[in-house]
Amino acid sequence: MQRSPNFYNEMSADGVVREHYREFADWLAQQTPDAIERKRMEADLTFRRVGITFAVYGDNAGTERLIPFDLIPRIIPASEWQQMQAGLVQRVRALNMFIDDIYHEQHIIRAGIIPADQIYRNAQYRPEMQGIKVASDIYAHIAGIDIVRAGAGEFYVLEDNLRVPSGVSYMLEDRKMMMRLYPELFASHKVAPVEHYPDMLLDNLRSVAPMGVLDPTVVVMTPGMYNSAYFEHAFLAQQMGVELVEGKDLYVTNNAVWMRTTHGPKRVDVIYRRLDDDFLDPLAFRADSALGVPGLLSVYRAGHVTLANAIGTGVADDKSIYPYVPDIIRFYLSEEPILNNVPTYQCRKKAELDYTLANLPDLVVKEVHGAGGYGMLVGPASTKEQIEDFRQRLIARPDGYIAQPTLALSNCPTFVENGVAPRHIDLRPFVLSGKNISMVPGGLTRVALREGSLVVNSSQGGGTKDTWVLEA
Amino acid sequence: MQLSIRHETHYSYSASLGYTIQQLHLSPRNEPQQHVLQWQLDAPGHLHGYTDAYGNLSHMLTLDKPHDNLLIVAEGVVETTSPYQGRVQAKDTLSPLVYTVATRLTTPTDSIRALAATCLPSQQAGTRDLMTLAEHIIGLVLYQTGATEVSTTASAALALGSGVCQDHAHIFLACCHAIGIPARYVSGYIDPGDTNHAASHAWVDAWVHDDGFTGWVSIDVTHARLMTDAYCRLAIGRDYEAAAPIRGIRNGGGEESMTVDVQIVPQ
Amino acid sequence: MLSRTADHLFWMARYTERAENTARMLDVNVQTALLPQSGEAARQAWRALLGISELQHGYDEKHEAVTQHDVIEFMVCDPSNRSSIIACLTEARENARAVRGTLTTEVWEVTNQTYLDLRRRLHGGQLRKDPSQFFEWVKYRSHLWRGVTLGTMLRDEAINFMRLGTSLERADNTARILDVKFHGNDSDARRDFYYWAALLRSVSGFEIYRKVYRDVITPERVAELLMLRADMPRSLLACMEEVVANLRQVRNDVSSDTERLAGKLHAELQFARIEDILEAGLHDTLTEFLRRIYELGNGVSRDFLVPLAA
């Protein structure tokens, strides 16, 4: 196993295997490369049969691309998870209170903590939601919080995903695969189970049904089979035992939402929607959307249907609000944040802009309203020219950018061409909010498969690992 | 002024259709300068009323039985007064900042920005500046029906050089957005008087900084004048799509033909 | 279940059945073309086949003359011909893809594999070298599909709508084949035997005929077997029994008219006598039957699925 002196290695420190990895390291040492290879192929074949692929149904030739699955799990000891879980509960609770406040009294704006224009001019702020009462005052029923470990081993929240977070199906299928391939490992390790996620999700969704509905009808709403996350939509619907619908299966009449079934219209009470706000209702949002249900917003406003996640959660999860989250936690909960943000410099503030301009070669600068990739500068990986070019852009429009120090992301041993080598990882736990805030232990671990790469996205060469939270 | 209004919209289809949904903003807003003496909305199917986030009195009409035509009639009497210096208090809870955000129809382009720069000195513009903008717009964009459609953007209409009140309003809004001045679309009725101008009309509200007053002022761009008691306001929003009197979707029905008749009689 | 899901299952079944029946029809013609006959008679036979699915016009637009080779090309690999085998199997697969979540893995894989293999076979030129073997393959894949659906899928509405699709399509196609074969008859006695034998084989009815009638093949008995015998799996009556049974399983608040239509049609076939049908006119009877099957299909769409008119 290689040593990476500058990065926190999940498995070992200074060549000594960490306690929670010892059992596994011993087991790994006894596996032959051939045996591993056979298991890898078995995993591939099974994933293909199940259909858990990326851009699953888009190819006419019938070939589908797999997201690479690495056999070495990412193991987290119970104590670390305890801490992370408490931090996640706190953060998601505060974020939900924030969203509720924004769409009602707006105390946080009045208190001067967040400038009004950060909210109102945010494209994800939906004026249509102003004043609407949502079930249990919960907006982000499903939150995917991206966490990285950096430096000497501290955890940081990299990003909050409160709109349509995805990836949980990989978490579940990875666990299923590991248990199938290596049942002996689950005998020798006390791995906290995750299989009950769909049950938890269904329970949460049912708990936020409109008032007075005794046996709510829940559906999963998908944009359709050409969406790259379609597998997950179909998977979750099937695991929860609910219908998978597209916009065209639903219609609004008499102030309710109905599903077209072979037994006539059936009223729908809770919609777990995997579409962006913009496409939900052509009468309220994008008029050209054929994926939504005309009139859906009016039924939502009347409280006759619940949407999970609510419309307008994006006001809380973009990069312009991210720097305020620690203050948001303090404001609503009067507590200090348990999980830290990555230190962030808002270039809209003069002092922070000055700092950023002075330290461009060492920083990562991101567009506030971008999707990473274009409009991002990774200082240490850029040429002088690129840095100068970016400097001009920054000076022209400073309030469009935030800057963060480059993080030394932790890495985890991963199977590569020539054996095992460290690769950078992150973690996305899925936090459920309904009658209470809950989650299954762990989450989706994504791994950057290219050496040195920090990019874990599956569309850009990333893979996944099973995440093990060890029970105490 | 007391305005007696009757607004009839009739859709007919070449084939029977099974489902229609229409979003209606056909009830005059509840505002200090207009008082609804009586108002009635008549339509088939299910009609559900609500107040939306912009304070518009809205209805969602759904018809899920086979039909081949649809008649919607709104009528009543409204008592209007002329707002002093065009100032309106719309009693909505939304921050004016909400109306600085452009939509697809009101996205500023270079030509829009150039036009805005000639008339609007800064974010803090007065009524005089905004009226100048209106005069410029109608000079550049001649009133002509049929040249544009409901989906025409502000920049396209400006490039075309002709349009209707909806286009004048959108261009005005886009110019305001370019500078960061809150401005919103208003749809409603106008008493055409002796002209043969249509009774359905679109104009704007803009956020002004005048001596002694900061707030919304209502401006009829097409006539380059402040709103008077000859106007009745139905709905406000960021653009036509948000405030349109009738907007809907149907399943089937073949070819659609629509007739609209608005009668407005001062009493 | 969702109307749209049922709709996809219904059409997946119809298209699979249509592909199989096209293969059967083409195979009959290929077999009978081997018999001694005039060039004109052969051409008539191929023209009649085009007439079964009302495709003469579409064919004439693309081809100069009626030849075995060209008709087979048109009916097998021309994607612009919506009744061609390739068009049907592509549609079947597209419909399966849309509801992959409701199908078992086996059903999806069989449907998908049929589609992929078809392309390979056509590329490999099997159609030209040995058309009968190609048609056998199509039939076999359809049998396999049916077996895997009935064998692996949950016995819920999904099966009912697939059976409805299969039965309506089969009834329609069988009536068409019968109509054309009877219409395009000439009186050469020796040709009669091979002619009818080929027709019977195309509906897998040759051995059944022998079992049921134990006598020479006559056109009247062929018609009776294919229309009125419930024990002949591909007969119109057997198809209507399936339609009635499956409609009963899925009945809803608005389907009683459609159920009644189906019930009436079934009862008429059940109590008909072939003598009366032949006297009234086979062609007229079959034309009327086709009209009613078409209406039934529309009724099913309207009551349960995605109405075609929308």
d(CA A98, CA A329): 9
Q: What is the pLDDT of residues A433-472, one digit of tens each?
A: 998 999 999 999 999 988 877 777 766 678 999 999 999 7
Largest pairwise CA distance in chain A = 68
Mean pLDDT rounded to a whole number for chain C: 89
Beta strands in A62-175 (DSSP E): 65-66, 69-76, 142-150, 154-161
CA–CA separation, C267 and C261 (whole Å):
10
**Closest-CA residue to B203 (of B266, B262, B129, B138):** B138
Distance CA A63, CA A426 (A): 29
Give me the residues paired with residue A430 across strands. Answer: A144
DSSP lists the bridge partners of residue A464 as: A69, A446
pLDDT, greater one: A26 or A52:
A26
Residue A290 touches partner B, C-beta closer than 8 Å: no
From the CA atom positions of chain B, what is the Rg in Å?
A: 18
Task: Tell me A379's DSSP state.
Answer: G
- In chain B, what residues touch A301 (CB-CB under 8 Å)? 50, 52
What's the pLDDT score for residue A2? 40
Of A277, A14, A21, which Cα lies nearest the Cα of A129? A277
The reported pLDDT for the residue numbered A417 is 80
C3 contacts A249? CB cut-off 8 A: yes
Asked whether the predicted pLDDT for residue C168 surpasses 60, the reply is: yes
Tell me, what's the pLDDT at C7?
Answer: 96
Judging contacts by C-beta atoms under 8 Å, the chain B residues touching residue A279 are none
Find the mean pLDDT for residues A110-129: 93
When CB atoms are compared, the residue of C3, C105, C115 closest to A261 is C3
Q: Which chains touch C (3 or more CB pairs under 8 A)?
A: A, B
Backbone angles phi, psi at C293, to 5 degrees: -65, -40
Q: What is the pLDDT of residue A272?
A: 98
pLDDT at A64: 58
Neighboring chain B residues of A294 at a CB cutoff of 8 Å:
21, 248-249
B46, B53, B64 member nearest A128 (Cβ): B53
In chain B, where the domains are located: 2-80+245-266, 84-242
Whole-number average pLDDT of chain B: 93
**Of the candidates A404, A406, A394, A317, which has an alpha carbon nearest to the alpha carbon of residue A348?**
A394
Report the Cα A437 to chain-centroid distance in Å: 16
pLDDT at residue A5, rounded to an integer: 52
Q: At what angle do helices C85-98 and C68-77 cross, to 10 degrees?
A: 10
Q: Which residues of B touch A287 (CB under 8 A)?
A: 151, 241
Mutation choice for B interface testing from A105, A288, A298, A300 by most B CBs within 10 A: A298
Is residue C251 a contact partner of residue C259, using CB atoms and an 8 Å limit? yes
Q: B246: nearest CA in chain A?
A: A283
Q: How confident is the model at residue C42 (pLDDT cuts 50, 70, 90)?
A: confident
Residue A321: strand, helix, or coil: coil
In chain C, which residues have their Cβ closer than 8 Å to the Cβ of A264?
252-254
Between chains, do C100 and A57 touch, taking CB under 8 Å as contact?
yes
At A441 the pLDDT is 97
Please state which of the ranges A38-52, A71-85, A104-118, C163-177 shows the lowest mean pLDDT: A38-52
Rounded average pLDDT over A407-419? 87
* Mean pLDDT, residues A111-132 taken together: 93
Please say whether the beta carbons of A281 and A293 come within 8 A. Answer: yes
Q: Does A312 touch chain B (CB under 8 A)?
A: no
Residue of B nearest to C302 (CA): B18
Query: What interhelical angle do C256-270 and C236-250 show, nearest 10?
Result: 150
Stated as kind and residue range, the H or E segment containing A308 is: strand A306-308
Report CB contact under 8 Å: C2, A263.
no
Residue of chain C nearest A246, judged by CA positions: C4
Class of domain B2-80+245-266: mainly beta
Residues from chain A that touch B238, judged by Cβ atoms under 8 A, are: 127
What is the rounded distance in angstroms from the CA atom of residue B183 to the CA atom of residue B164? 18
A200 burial level (CB within 10 Å; 0-12, 13-18, 19+):
middle
Checking DSSP bridges between strand A340-341 and strand A154-161, what pairing results, if any? parallel
- Give the ranges where chain C is alpha helix by DSSP (H): 3-33, 39-52, 56-62, 68-77, 85-98, 105-124, 126-129, 131-152, 157-183, 189-202, 206-213, 219-228, 236-250, 256-270, 274-280, 282-304
Q: Which residues of A341-354 are buried (b: 16+ CB within 10 A; e: fewer)?
A: bbebbbbbeeebbe
Between A14 and A75, the more confident residue is: A75
Mean pLDDT to the nearest integer, C232-255: 96
- Per-residue pLDDT tens for B68-85? 999 999 999 999 999 999
pLDDT at C193: 78
pTM: 0.90
Residue B179 · residue B120 · CB < 8 Å: yes
pLDDT of residue A301: 96
In eight-state DSSP terms, residue A127 is G
Q: Is residue B252 pLDDT above 90, yes or no?
A: no
For residue C12, count CB atoms less than 10 angstroms from its CB and return exposed for 0-12, middle for 13-18, buried for 19 or more: buried
Q: Please name the residues in contact with B204: beta carbons below 8 A apart, sequence gap of 6 or more.
A: B169, B172, B173, B183, B184, B185, B186, B218, B219, B221
pLDDT in tens, A425-435: 999 999 999 98
Q: Contact C126/C134 with Cβ under 8 angstroms?
A: yes
Report d(CA A138, CA A385) in Å as an integer.
Answer: 47
Q: Which residues of A touch B63 (CB under 8 A)?
A: 253
* Among candidates A127, A128, A282 on the partner chain, residue whose Cβ is nearest the Cβ of B249: A282
CA angle (C110, C112, C117) in 5-degree steps: 90
Q: What is the pLDDT of residue A459?
A: 67
**Predicted pLDDT at C189:** 45
Average pLDDT taken over every residue of chain A: 90
Q: What kind and span of H or E run contains B119?
A: helix B110-119
Say if the Cβ atoms of A294 and B95 lie within 8 Å. Answer: no
Reported as a single tens digit per residue, the pLDDT across C249-273 is 999 999 999 999 999 999 999 999 9
Residues in chain B: 267
| Interface residue ranges in chain A relative to chain C, Cβ cutoff 8 Å | 49, 51, 57, 62, 225, 234, 237-238, 243-246, 248-249, 259-264
Residue B98 C-alpha, separation from nearest chain A C-alpha, in angstroms: 5
The domains found in chain A, sorted by start residue, are 12-339+408-469 (no CATH), 344-405 (3.30.1490.270)
Is B146 a residue whose pLDDT tops 70? yes
In order, the DSSP letters of B68-116 are EEEEEEEEEEEEE-PPGGGB------S-GGGGGS--GGG---HHHHHHH
* Surface-to-core class of residue C36, CB atoms within 10 Å of its CB (0-12 exposed, 13-18 middle, 19+ buried): exposed
Q: Are A232 and A223 in contact (CB under 8 A)?
A: no
Q: What is the pLDDT of residue A416?
A: 86
Percent of chain A predicted with pLDDT > 70: 94
Instruction: Determine whether the interchain pair C307/B18 forms a contact, defined as Cβ–Cβ distance below 8 Å.
Output: yes
Chain C: residue whose CA lies nearest to B15: C309
B246 has a pLDDT exceeding 60 = yes
CA A448 from chain centre, in angstroms, equals 16
Helix (H, G, I), strand (E, B) or coil at C185: coil
DSSP string, A334-350: -S--SSEEPP-EETTSH
Can you give the pLDDT at residue B91?
A: 65
Amino acid identity of residue A329, one-letter, is: I
Q: What is the SS3 assignment for C253?
A: coil
C133 touches C126 (CB < 8 A): yes
Q: Do B21 and A251 touch (CB under 8 A)?
A: yes
Q: Residues near C214 by Cβ (< 8 Å), separated by ≥ 6?
A: none
Q: Sheet holding A256-261: strands in order across?
A: A250-253, A256-261, A264-268
What pLDDT is attached to residue A4?
Answer: 43
Contacts of C306 in chain A (CB under 8 A): 260
Searching chain C, which residue's CA lies closest to the CA of residue B252? Answer: C310
Furthest CA-CA distance within chain C: 57
Q: Which chain B residues touch C309 with a CB distance below 8 Å?
A: 15, 252
Given a contact cutoff of 8 angstroms between Cβ atoms, the answer to whether C160 and C249 are in contact is yes
Find chain B residues with C-beta within 8 A of A302's C-beta: 48, 50
Which backbone phi and psi does A340 adopt, to 5 degrees?
Answer: -90, 150
Nearest C-alpha in B relative to A116: B97
Q: Which amino acid is it at A258?
A: W
Mind listing the pLDDT tens digit for each residue in B84-121? 999 997 666 789 999 999 999 999 999 999 999 999 98
- Give chain C's contact residues with A (Cβ, < 8 Å): 1-4, 6, 97-98, 100-101, 105, 112, 115-116, 157, 161, 250, 252-254, 304-306
- The CATH architecture of the domain made up of B84-242 is Roll (3.10)
Q: Which residues of B touch C310 (CB under 8 A)?
A: 18, 251-252
Question: A428 - beta bridge partners?
Answer: A444
Residue with tokens 């193991």: A75
Is there a contact between A427 and A392 (Cβ–Cβ < 8 Å)? no
DSSP class of B81: -
Angle between helices C85-98 and C3-33 (to 10 degrees): 160
Those residues whose C-beta lies under 8 Å from the C-beta of residue C154, and which sit 6 or more positions away, are none
Chain B touched by C4 (CB under 8 Å): no
The DSSP line for A93-114 is HHHHHHHHHHTTT-HHHHTTSS
- Specify the pLDDT at position A62: 47
Hey, is C268 helix, strand or coil? helix
The whole-number pLDDT of residue A65 equals 65
Whether the complex's predicted ipTM surpasses the cut of 0.90: yes
Q: How far apart are CA A295 and CA A243, in angstroms?
A: 21
A165 contact partners, CB below 8 Å, separation of at least 6: A142, A143, A144, A428, A430
Decide if pLDDT at B56 tops 70: yes
d(CA A107, CA C113): 61
* Window 249-308 of C, Cβ < 8 Å to B: 307
Q: Is the pLDDT of residue A146 over 50?
A: yes
CB contact under 8 Å between C310 and B252, yes or no, is: yes
Residue of A457, A414, A464 lying closest to A443 (CA atoms) = A464
Q: What is the token pair recorded at A390? A: 């970016």
Q: Which two tokens stand for residue C117?
A: 């293999």
At A374 the pLDDT is 59
The percent of residues above 90 in pLDDT, for chain A, comes to 72
Q: Which chain A residues are closer than 8 Å to C100 by Cβ?
A: 51, 57, 225, 234
User: What pLDDT is stored for residue A57 in this prediction?
Assistant: 42
User: Is the pLDDT confidence value at A58 over 50?
Assistant: no
- Å from B181 to nearest chain C CA? 45
Backbone dihedral angles phi then psi of residue A463, each to the nearest 5 degrees: -135, -170
Of A315-319, A327-331, B208-212, C114-118, the range with the highest mean pLDDT is A327-331
* Cβ proximity of C12 and C110 under 8 Å: no
Predicted pLDDT of residue C53:
79
Distance CA C297, CA C7 (A): 11
Task: With CB atoms and an 8 Å threshold, state whether A123 touches B21.
Answer: no
C1, C97, C161: residue with CB nearest A261: C1
Chains that touch B (3 or more CB pairs under 8 A): A, C
pLDDT at A373 over 80: no
Interface of A with B in 101-130 (CB under 8 A): 116-117, 120-121, 123, 125, 127-130
Instruction: Select the residue of A238, A245, A262 nearest C250 (Cβ to Cβ).
Output: A262
Tell me which residue in A49, A234, A262 faces C304 most closely, judged by beta carbons. Answer: A262
> Closest Cα partner for B195 from B131, B147, B264?
B264
> In angstroms, what separates the C-alpha of A129 from chain C's closest C-alpha?
30
Give A205-235 pLDDT, tens digit per residue. 999 999 999 999 999 999 998 888 888 998 9
Give me the total of CB pairs closer than 8 Å, taking one residue from chain A and one from chain B.
71
Q: Determine, for residues C310 and B15 on separate chains, whether the beta-carbon distance falls below 8 Å.
A: no
pLDDT tens by residue, C57-81: 889 998 989 888 899 999 999 989 9
Q: How far away is chain A from the Cα of B201, in angstroms, using its nearest Cα? A: 21
Cα separation, A119 vs A104, whole angstroms: 13
Q: Are strands A270-273 and A306-308 parallel, antiparallel or unpaired?
A: parallel
